[in-house]
């Protein structure tokens, strides 16, 4: 089993919450870590199934929710209606290819600053935001 550090973090979290360490949780977390980003609940379920044929959708969803609570995963919803999960890291936004589904992360200090200024102008206390650019990635632009 790879990702020892991460699994240790999960086990620590489970322990502090009085929750249990199970094969399913380990398997789901492992597959999630291997996928390294933007994997959908469905894909995750499929891949975990390769190792645990009887695992249910339910357990995948419940475990991902748990991982999010533990701060070990981040849930995103892009257009299309399915939840996707990423490994938490510094703040960023996304470019999404509407043809092939490719997702690219970007970071822009200037936009962050502008957002703060806008929030202040309207008296809003911003808790989170959503910023996604949808279009064609380089490969899909060339393809026609």
Partner DNA sequence: ATAGATGCAAATGTTTTGCAGGAAA
Partner DNA sequence: TTTCCTGCAAAACATTTGCATCTAT
Where does this chain bind a copy of itself (CB under 8 A)?
77, 79, 95, 97-98, 104, 106, 108, 110-111, 114-115, 118-119, 121-138, 141
- Based on the shown chain and the rule CB under 7 A, indicate whether residue 37 belongs to the binding site for DNA: no
- Residue 76 contacts residue 114 (beta carbons within 8 Å): no
Residues with Cβ within 8 Å of 28's Cβ and at least 6 positions away in sequence, in order, are 44, 48, 55, 59, 60, 63, 64, 67
CB of 101 to a copy of itself, least distance (A): 13
- Based on the shown chain and the rule CB under 7 A, indicate whether residue 51 belongs to the binding site for DNA: no
- Residue 103 contacts residue 96 (beta carbons within 8 Å): yes
Please state, in angstroms and rounded to a whole number, the distance separating the CA atoms of residues 72 and 33: 10
CB of 52 to DNA, least distance (A): 6
Nearer to DNA (CB atom), residue 76 or residue 102: 76
Of these partners, DNA, a copy of itself, none, which one is at the site of residue 8 (CB under 5 to 8 Å by kind)? none
- Based on the shown chain and the rule CB under 7 A, indicate whether residue 42 belongs to the binding site for DNA: yes
Q: Which helix (H) or strand (E) holds 97?
A: strand 93-97
- The dihedral through the CA atoms of 46, 52, 55, 61 has a sign that is negative
Binding residues for DNA (CB under 7 A):
14, 18-25, 40-42, 52, 54-59, 61-63, 65, 77, 81-83
């Amino acid at each position: 089993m790879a990702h020892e550090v991460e699994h240790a973090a999960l086990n620590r979290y489970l322990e502090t919450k009085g929750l249990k360490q199970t094969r399913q949780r380990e398997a789901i977390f492992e597959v999630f870590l291997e996928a390294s980003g933007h994997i959908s609940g469905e894909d995750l379920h499929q891949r975990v199934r390769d190792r645990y044929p009887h695992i249910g959708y339910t357990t995948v969803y419940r475990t991902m929710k748990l991982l999010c609570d533990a701060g070990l995963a981040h849930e995103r919803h892009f257009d299309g209606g399915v939840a996707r999960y990423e490994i938490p890291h510094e703040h960023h936004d996304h470019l999404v290819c509407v043809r092939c589904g490719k997702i690219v992360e970007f970071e822009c200090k200037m936009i962050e600053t502008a957002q703060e200024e806008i929030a202040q102008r309207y008296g809003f206390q911003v808790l989170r935001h959503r910023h996604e650019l949808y279009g064609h990635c380089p490969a899909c632009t060339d393809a026609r």
